[in-house]
Structure 1
Amino acid sequence: MQKLPISGVVIAFNEADRIARCVASLAPLCDEVIVMDSGSTDDTARIATDNGARVVQQAWLGFSAQKNAVISAARNEWVLLLDSDEWLDDAAGGKIAQLLAGGEMESADVWTLLRRTHYLGTALNHGGWGKEKVERLFRRDLRYKQADVHEALDTRGKRVKALDARIEHDTARSDAEYAQKLDRYAVLWAKQKHAAGRSANALSGPLHAFAYWLKNYVLRGGFLDGGRAHRYHWLHTRYVYGKYVLLAGM
């Protein structure tokens, strides 16, 4: 595939076991790949370089600010952003190339891609995690809104369209690590919502947790994925419960 005038950008910290897969999926497509490393103590920087990325160092600024910093380092008008635990599937590059070659890319400012999450070897094709629309291909002048967790691209006034191209997402190295990650996110979420004036009561945690389980595990068919899907959805139910309990206590 001929490389396209698109900048592939990634933020990373101690991702030596995952960064090669991420960068290797971007390198054949993008005429530059930038990995912004925040002081990794493992071989992240070397492995990223070996797989075709330009590595720049930036002390951690927070999720939104770090992503905005790596976007600012891009030289092309279009940016394709992946997290270090993500990679493009084999067909995604061709679909993006067709979008550019046909001139259709310019009809939007942001293109959503479809992300499928994997949990410890189980592909989550159902339950809301098999075709999650994520805004990852966009013009370089866009930025992420300030947020401590669950950062989102600021698309106000922008044209957003969908592309049927897939990102794969290997979300956890171990069950314990993922549970701890969700616990950290719950604290950040609660603090963020409290600062924004949100509140919760004693019923918020149980009701929102039940709603997540019913919607994603039952109605959206999360149970159909088998394997570790049950555990994944239980952890997210626990996460939803926990973040509202924390908010209620503030």
Structure 2
Amino acid sequence: MFKLTVCLLTCNSARLLREVLPPLLIVGDEIIVVDSGSTDNTLDICHEYGLTPHLHPYAMHGMQMNHAIGLASNDWVLCMDSDEILDAETIDFILALKAGEEPAVDNAWRITRYWHVLGQEVRTLYPVSSPDFPVRLFNRTQARFNHRPVDDKVEGRLHTVKMPGRVRHDTFYTLHEVFNKLNSYTSRLVKYQNVRPSIGRGIVSAIGAFFKWYLFSGAWRQGKVGVVTGLYATSYSFLKYFKAWYQHEDKKEPVAKEHTDSHLVE
């Protein structure tokens, strides 16, 4: 038998928090909530459940989650986001796991996560297919989240197993959220990763994404939600190269201006 700390990240999470918290309170011996500056009722809802969030400025998801892991009293941690809801089968599995003998420290478990966009389950959301299976339950002495700006994951010397059940990932609940995250993710990617600055490459990538993530994936069968996920994939593929190109050109402008001013002086 072992004790488990749940690490939960929040930011303006009031929409789903009353669905997210009850399952986590069942499986967790301790709940660490790290909030990055909520302005809605998130903090009040946490207080309703007897939880006091730790406030911490947001940099990247992996860094934020690692901060939460560092606050845990137990080495075994379950790391969750505030738009992920455990179902009964997943809860029962975790409770049974905790009730047995403590596993080897290099064991880890992946949740079975089904993605929902605008309230509807989808088959794909660039760059992942649904369900996906991220590692979320592990011993913190063996692993941490990496610092990738987008799509970070747990890294360590681990033997992983998929949990049963269906974890609902209820993301992108409005069009505003879709485009807000599209802008945020692509800007973060260009800032922290080396993306080739090329409009031409962006156009080719966007065309490929349209075929792969809208036509071939079957997203076109899902009506307006499929159009949204297809547009998201196409736009993401173009914007990351376009923003890199724009940033590259922006850096060249002061040099060009300095050369022009020097020529005028002569």
TM-score by length of 2: 0.80
C-alpha displacement at 1:126, in angstroms? Answer: 5.3
CA-to-aligned-CA distance 1:12-46 (integer Å, 9 cap, x gap): 12222222222122111111111112332332122
The 1:16–1:235 alpha-carbon spacing in structure 2 relative to 1, beyond 3 Å, is same
Q: Is residue 2:148 matched to residue 1:147?
A: yes
Q: Specify the SS of the correspondent of 1:203.
A: helix
Which region of structure 1 is more displaced relative to structure 2, 12-21 or 185-194?
Answer: 12-21
C-alpha displacement at 1:182, in angstroms? Answer: 0.7
The one-letter code matched in structure 1 to 2:186 is A
The one-letter code matched in structure 1 to 2:144 is R
Structure 1 or 2: more helix by fraction: 2
Q: Specify the SS of the correspondent of 1:25.
A: helix
* Consecutive unaligned residues in structure 1, runs of 5 or more: none
Residues 4 and 97 in structure 1, CA contact (< 8 A), matched pair in contact too: no
For 1:202, the equivalent position in structure 2 comes to 199
Q: Specify the SS of the correspondent of 1:150.
A: coil
The 1:202–1:35 alpha-carbon spacing in structure 2 relative to 1, beyond 3 Å, is same
C-alpha displacement at 1:188, in angstroms? Answer: 1.0
Give the 4+ runs in structure 1 shifted more than 6 A.
Answer: none
For 1:130, the equivalent position in structure 2 comes to 130
User: Share of identical aligned residues, percent?
Assistant: 27
Larger Rg: 2
For 1:177, the equivalent position in structure 2 comes to 177
Q: Is residue 2:218 matched to residue 1:217?
A: no
C-alpha displacement at 1:91, in angstroms? Answer: 1.7
For 2:251, the equivalent position in structure 1 comes to none
Residues 8 and 80 in structure 1, CA contact (< 8 A), matched pair in contact too: yes
Residues 116 and 132 in structure 1, CA contact (< 8 A), matched pair in contact too: yes
TM-score by length of 1: 0.85
Q: Specify the SS of the correspondent of 1:93.
A: helix
The 1:187–1:104 alpha-carbon spacing in structure 2 relative to 1, beyond 3 Å, is same
Count of aligned pairs: 244
For 1:62, the equivalent position in structure 2 comes to 60
Q: Specify the SS of the correspondent of 2:104.
A: helix
The partner residue of 2:111 within 110, 113, 116 is 113
Residues 90 and 163 in structure 2, CA contact (< 8 A), matched pair in contact too: no
Residues 219 and 229 in structure 2, CA contact (< 8 A), matched pair in contact too: no
Q: Distance in 1 between matches of 2:242 and 2:102?
A: 46
* 1:21-170 correspondence to structure 2 within 5 Å: 21-101=19-99, 103=101, 105-106=103-104, 108-125=106-123, 128-141=128-141, 142-155=143-156, 157-170=157-170
Q: Distance in 2 between matches of 1:25 and 1:192?
A: 35
Q: Specify the SS of the correspondent of 1:151.
A: coil
* Consecutive unaligned residues in structure 2, runs of 5 or more: 249-266
Which region of structure 1 is more displaced relative to structure 2, 224-233 or 113-122?
Answer: 224-233
The one-letter code matched in structure 2 to 1:90 is A
The 1:66–1:239 alpha-carbon spacing in structure 2 relative to 1, beyond 3 Å, is same
Residues 3 and 98 in structure 2, CA contact (< 8 A), matched pair in contact too: no
